[in-house]
A and B are shown apart, each in its own frame.
Chain A
Amino acid sequence: MKRIYSLILSVAAVLFAGSCDNKFDEINTSKTGITSIDPVFILNQAIINSSPPAATLNYEVGIVQQQISPNTGVLLGGNFNQVNINSTNQNWINFFQNVVRYTNDVISRTSEDPARQNLYNMARVIQANAFMVLSDTYGDIPYSEGGKGYTDAIVFPKYETQQTVYNGIISELTVAAGALTASAKIEPADVLYNGNIAKWKKFAYSLLLRAGMRLSAVDATKAQATVAAAFAGGVITANADNAYNRHDANFVNGLGNTLNGTEAANFYLAEPFVTALKTENDPRLQSIAVRYVGAVSGNAQTAAVATTAPANQYGLPMGSTDAQADAAGKNLPGGGARYAFSQVDRTRMVKRTSPLFMVTAAQSNLLLAEGAVRGWVTGSATQYFADGVRAHMDQMATYDAGSAVSAANRDTYVVAHPLNVGSTDASIAQISYEYWIASFLNGNEAWANLRRSGYPVLTANPFPGRSVDFITRLTYPVSEILVNTANVQAAIAAQGADALDTKVWWDK
């Protein structure tokens, strides 16, 4: 009997002695998960995700009256100046989760590593760009605590004023741009410039130029100092230095994906944009637009009826609903329905594989032109202006060979449109108009500069059911109101109502 007991006990002991042994840790160690990776690969993801997200079609691109949809429902937004909670949150989600989360990871793993100082500073530049888009969109945002859910375990970050955010961005860009050095380890795996430090520096100073100019209305002194510093550092003035993602079949252009996919027949160039280009005989209209003459459906938008002739382009009137657009489409040359209005050409400029730009020579030159007009930078405003316009014309070929603007057409336009130096305001109006066109498809930047400069002057969206005349910021995501309540409410109390027409701090 005793033997049996001891047998049972020893069997039990053998079976379960290991209850707490380190086999458990072995079982709970992933055999497939990667726990460390070269941080430059992570930065690459942040760079790719810095392209404007597809949802900018719903708001930003429509707010600046370049492309709109006549459809309501999921596509509601800047087309009817109403709140669509499914779209207002997209910049927030994209830049916090897909950019800042990654840059934070890179920064936390390289800041103390002397060998990776260039990588560290590259990540700071990309992060500064993300925070600029976020703050331009929403105003006050989580900044110093933003994106630190893992690195610092901050899951309910506090908000900071846009002024604080911009101070931070300017300081970060200044330090990072200055610290980037060709004498330290180069990061050839970087997908933006393959580790070219000179280009990274120009990119950083261009963002600094952009950030400084953003403050022109609210804090001219700081704006001037920042712009001057950026200019001194050297910004992107040639297309070869442009900061852009060369999207491919695997990492697709989000806008192109939408415009070639579910919403192919649902977005049209807006009338104010087409009319402006037509009026000015802008050769870029031919690069951008296509119209399917007589089309009464998406299926009827075939190559056979396509025309890219500038004179035959017609933009969809702002505020048009489906029925109004169909009715208006009937009156177009060749008839048709809403499907017969001009679209951005999805076989050329917005293919799935077309590039998307963050910062371009055109934009920097135009900002320098404004800086020169204001006396903040040296050089000829007229020259900067012409260089900017020229750069954008040349940039069109990067989208697609079929979108290229010929040198002759480019020069004809530039000669016909010299900078109006009659008054500061007239110059700035003209520069801002060109900036508007040069920022086509980068809704975030087009919208921010338009609000900041006040140009081009756009007519209020005529849609009778609009909530506001002009959208000056997007509302915070519903999820923030829900889970980060105290912090977001503090921001709302400081900034003003969480509405589409509350103005952000720099928007004076």
Chain B
Amino acid sequence: MRKNYCIVICVAALWIAAFSPPQANAIGRPGAVHVQATVTGLVTDENNSPLPGVNIIVKGTSSGTITDTDGRYTINVDNGQAVLVFSFIGYAEQELTVGDQSTINVVMAPDVKALSEVVVTALGIERSAKSLGYATTRVGPDDIAMNRTANWMNGLSGKIAGVSISALGTGPAGTSKIRIRGQSSISGQNNPLIVINGVPIDNTNFGTNPGNLGSDGAIGNRTGGGITSDGGDALSSINPDDIESMTVLKGAAASALYGSRAKDGVIMITTKSRGLQKGIGITYNLNYTVDTPLDFTDFQHEYGQGEYGVRPTTPDPTSGQWSFGEKIEPGMTQTLFNTPGIPYEAQNGILKKFYRNGTNMTNTVAISAGGDKGGMNLSIASTKSDGITPNNSFDRKTVNLGFSYDLSQKVSVRGNVNYSNEYNKNPPVVSEQDNSIPTALFAMANTMPLDVMEANKYNAGGGEYTWSRFTNRVNPYWALAEQFQNIRRDRIFGNVALKYDLTNWLSVQGRVGQDYWSRDQDYTNLPTGKASINSGSIASAVSGFVNGLYTQEVRRFRETNTDFLVTAAKTFGDIGVNVNVGGNQMRRRADLNSVQVTDFVVRGLYTVQNGRAKDPLYDLQERGVNSLYGQAEVNFKQFVYLNATLRNDWFTTLAPENRSILYPSVAATYVFSESFSMPRWLNFGKFRAAYAEVGSDTDVPPYSNKLFYGVAANQFGGQPVGNFGGNTTVPNANLKPMRTKETEIGFELKMFNNRVNLDFAAYHKITIDQIVNAQISDASGFTTTRINSGRSQNRGVEMLINLIPVKTTDFQWDLTFNAAYNITKVLSLLTDTPGSNITVGNHVFNGSLQQIVGQEMGQIVGFGYRRDDGSINPDHAGMIIYGSNGIPLPTAAQIPFGSALPNWVGGMTNSFNYKGIQLSFLIDFKLGNQMLSGTNFNAWRHGLHKTTLVGRDNQPVINGAKEVGGIVVGEGVTATSEINTAGARVEDFYSVVRGSGLIEPVVYNGGYIKLRQLSIGYDFSRFFTKTPIKGVRLNFVSNNVLMLKKWVDNIDPEGFTYSSDNLVGMESPGLPTTRSMGFNLNVKF
């Protein structure tokens, strides 16, 4: 660790030494004649209004100033040869030589160059934005760094058209779930490819999803016991302060050059590799936020803990998760654990009592250097996050070095290396029963005081004091004290590229990149004494041992990418030609060493040596892809562009006859504003169209062509026991790559001096030969088989509207609205018969996620209420049918309740700038998706949901005994269409969601509209002009500010814990969502 820092610092020092001397000399050149002169002036915009905040620097030096509120400036120059550079966002930069002038007034003109903005496209190829035939979105560093969340990607939610970003309720190191243009793959993952400085990195996430197999199914999870948590993704290894820019490539045409892994789009991140100006600059950034847990519960508090209308009055009750007790009256008491006389009163706000405020603090110091030949950027950062769960924290230290240097006129080198050291302590266990604090808290009986829970976490034997007859519902305080998990990760990734300009129109580049991480994890799946394995007071472990289950594992991962690229660009009169040809070789290797031990000799000592039965596992997975690709662009007078790409991939995971796939893309762009004379109000207009194909082996794990045997860790009766190693998928040796075909059209308009900007895109995407992990009959002995058969279709539109409704000298209002509509339909699975379906995931409790031919992708499926068909009495059509026992009957078959994928995703940012004070807020939304709420499922069956009040006060005398729990007579009819008069006991009635799997009451519209972000900031730089400080900016930020609209009861509709699309819309208790508030301070020297 120490050594690594030393190396990085030494390298950095060398770079600084290499760049610094010339600049140092330039500034304070000894013996130079000092003819100090003062220049003043007024800077105005094209309408002759003064422009405040314009940056003015003396070219080649670090001295500079900015215009004041009246647009005036004063600057000292050394001599008449000095050149002043005027720059302001949205305006063209101007350079003026001072000469003998002492007053220089400048009229800034809107930047037409902004139209010819350069965009980094696939493989790091820079191209002018106007030439692109497909949609891309560039995200600036401010959007990323200023208003951030623990996983910085989540802060971009609602900011990028067509991109859906979801934070998961899994703690500060949790995964960001990113989907671009919806979900195309029927099963598995739809993660975009993450590319850093032109080279892909691994974005595998672990945990959370039972059976989650990583981004490409290559890295398995160890199962056993109750622990599922979110181990985070690759984005959490990146310090957002290092990001120079980020480009999102959305469609297949944009990402075609990345091939197979880019079928779901690409997020291309460029990190800083040199100073923006000459000389050495130091930046310090401090980001601090406080996360407050949000409580959306609106549970009933009229009837307290208990079952069937009886409150706990005898010692050791086990109704701690049930609120079907008595009506709460003042003065009533209850017995909890061994304590009688505890007030029987409502406990409000337990989420806020149990969870704490989380904090995130990131300190970054960056040194950058720039010169004529190149530069470097070195940053060191430390992030400390405390999650809202009292024992959860995440620490990360990163060192990032970026550099670029022109070794000669022809040869340049560029590279970056990022090292991060992360420690994720006790990521919360979510979406589970055992060990899960959220599950227990969200179903906690409403008269259970938390301090009583805490005081009684241990029984006499030091085990968990049983408090719920669902013994796997852990006492949250016992879990805090006894259950632990440590995840430590060291990650280093980076690449070096060498570019050789053979002539002025031909260059060749070679690049090597590597992403390597090692990850140590250890956790108590089931701590000693846990109630669910402890059977009350009866000892149950093997004699001489205490019970428990513990796992220790080490993973290593290495991906290398080697590529070359030949670039030729030449203009022949009006015709420009640009050709790239390249190739890439990707190799990936992941291995896992894991030992799981059961029962221990010494209590509390969780080590492998201390265990009784040991189950070791070593797993190694390798895969590779070789690729060749090329791109050619022809333009006519730089207003008509034609672009074509071709790529061939060879996959190791597929059979030899199927492993090669060739796919093309074509794109055309027509900048009509430059070919005709346009009305004055139209500044820019462009029409674009593209078609592309991409192939992928994403859903094929290595070795899925074979079935492997395993040998059990322990012998039975002295004899070995063999098995199929837990594999329940029938292997298929003849899989082909899947293929995505996408057509996209769009246009861009900039009008009224760029104050009205529109960008519109529409796409149609078909994904064929999808590799479907299809559910098969259990009677085959297996549960799934992998086949090539799925076909799906995505259709959507994206729009981006950028307006400047008000712009005066002192005040500017910017409004950006983006919205994307996407609908994904399943066209074919095993067959293309409508209704044919596969189950891709099951909820922890009841209900499942299915793909159904003819329906939108991601259907939530389960039993609904059986309803009268009106055949006996037409007036009763549609009414709920009850059994003779008064319990609602489920539908004869499971029915779909709609898609869990949102149709609309978008956001609106308003930002106001008044004399340098910037205020902005973002409203974002996701609409048109259904969700199955596991929290409400529990709230129903445990009597917390307000609906479960119905019937409680109806307490008739039956067989001489008063039904104190209440009787519900459901509104509806009997099987013979008579009005239902049969009553059912309240607790049985609402438990129907479990026993009958009737999920209809807990399926909700999962959409929301939120006030996502609020920030106010000011650039204090003008107050520091006479100091070494070049800039000071302070922003106050808040995230997840206000829920404007939601439909689901008791929770935030974003409270999901699964990163896999196989469980999209399947909510089960996770951490409460949080509101963060804090500030970001940026100081430049």
Contacts and interface: CB of A to CB of B under 8 A. Distances in A.
A249 B613 contact: yes
B471 A190 contact: no
A149 B784 CA distance: 9
A124 B177 CA distance: 49
Interface stretch (A13-21, A384-392, A422-430): A13-21
B566 A8 contact: yes
B650 A346 contact: no
B265 interface: no
A157 interface: yes
Contacts of B722: 37-39, 41-42, 44-45
A12 B994 contact: no
A29 to B, nearest CB: 7
Given A97-B728, A148-B781, A260-B540, A265 B965 contact: no
A264 B583 CA distance: 62
Contacts of A194: 717, 719
Contact of B564 (A15, A37, A153): A15
B390 to A, nearest CB: 26
Contacts of B922: none
Nearest to A105: B724
Interface residues of B, number: 109
B714 A30 contact: no
A326 B717 CA distance: 42
A298 B318 contact: yes
Contact of A16 (B583, B710, B780): B583
A191 B719 CA distance: 6
A264 B650 CA distance: 56
Nearest to A99: B781
A71 B319 CA distance: 12
A101 B782 CA distance: 8
Interface string A41-73: 110110010000000000000000000000111
Of the candidates B459, B536, B987, B991, the one having the most CB atoms from chain A within 10 angstroms of its own CB is B536
B512 to A, nearest CB: 12
B837 A482 contact: yes
Interface in A320-357: 321-323, 326, 337, 346-347, 352-353
Interface stretch (B415-423, B552-560, B652-660): B652-660
Nearest to B313: A296
B564 A155 contact: no
A36 B703 CA distance: 15
Interface string A155-199: 111000000000000000000000000000000011100100000
A147 B779 contact: yes
B676 interface: no
B378 interface: no
A266 B705 contact: no
B995 A249 contact: no
A149 B626 contact: no
A215 to B, nearest CB: 23
Of the candidates A20, A264, A321, the one having the most CB atoms from chain B within 10 angstroms of its own CB is A264
Contacts of A279: none
B204 interface: no
B202 interface: no
B1042 interface: no
Contact of B714 (A251, A301, A464, A479): A251
Interface stretch (A81-89, A408-416, A439-447): A81-89
B46 interface: no
B618 interface: yes
A251 B316 contact: no
A191 B717 CA distance: 6
Interface stretch (B569-577, B871-879, B886-894, B1069-1077): B886-894
B941 interface: yes
A314 to B, nearest CB: 18
Nearest to A480: B777
A18 B626 contact: yes
A190 B717 CA distance: 9
Contacts of B619: 32
A13 to B, nearest CB: 10
Contact of A20 (B562, B656, B778): B656
A28 B703 contact: yes
Contacts of A303: 537-538
Contact of B711 (A37, A76, A478): A37
Given A15-B564, A154-B780, A297-B317, A34 B711 contact: yes
A96 B839 contact: no
Given A72-B995, A484-B777, A97 B783 contact: yes
Interface in A214-268: 246, 248-251, 259-262, 264-266
A302 B308 CA distance: 26
Interface string B608-627: 00001100001111111010
Contacts of A105: 724
B511 to A, nearest CB: 12
A299 interface: yes
Contacts of A146: 779-781
A32 B620 contact: yes
Contacts, number: 311
Contacts of B711: 34, 37, 41
A71 B469 contact: yes
The A contact surface, by secondary structure, is loop
Contacts of B716: 44, 48, 191, 248, 250-251
B894 to A, nearest CB: 7
A34 B720 CA distance: 14
Contact of B721 (A84, A153, A154, A191): A191
Nearest to B720: A41
B938 to A, nearest CB: 11
B628 A16 contact: yes
A137 to B, nearest CB: 13
A353 B539 CA distance: 13
B720 A44 contact: yes
Nearest to A153: B730
B532 interface: yes
Nearest to A337: B314
A466 B883 CA distance: 10
Contacts of B653: 28
B490 interface: no
Interface string A270-304: 00000000000000000000000000111111110
Nearest to B537: A302
B139 interface: no
A195 B660 CA distance: 51
A155 B779 CA distance: 8
A303 B539 CA distance: 10
Nearest to B585: A15
Contact of A297 (B318, B725, B991): B318
B888 to A, nearest CB: 12
24 contacts: A11-B564, A24-B650, A24-B652, A27-B622, A31-B622, A35-B706, A41-B721, A44-B716, A44-B720, A149-B777, A155-B730, A156-B776, A189-B719, A250-B613, A260-B538, A262-B532, A299-B537, A301-B536, A477-B778, A478-B894, A479-B777, A484-B776, A484-B777, A484-B779
Given A27-B624, A89-B778, A482-B839, 4 more contacts: A30-B708, A299-B459, A323-B965, A467-B885
Interface of B: 307-310, 314-318, 459, 465-466, 469-472, 502, 508, 532-538, 540, 542, 562, 564, 566, 581, 583, 585, 587, 598-599, 612-613, 618-624, 626, 628, 648, 650, 652-653, 656, 659-660, 702-703, 705-714, 716-717, 719-725, 728, 730-731, 775-783, 785, 837-839, 846, 883, 885-887, 893-894, 941, 965, 984-985, 987-988, 991, 994-997
Q: What 7 pairs across the A-B complex have the smallest Cβ distances?
A: A101-B781, A297-B316, A149-B780, A41-B722, A465-B885, A33-B708, A323-B308
Interface of A: 1, 4, 8, 11-12, 15-16, 18-20, 24-25, 27-39, 41-42, 44-45, 48, 71-74, 76, 82-86, 89, 92-93, 96-97, 100-102, 104-105, 141-142, 146-150, 153-157, 189-191, 194, 246, 248-251, 259-262, 264-266, 296-303, 321-323, 326, 337, 346-347, 352-353, 464-467, 477-484, 487
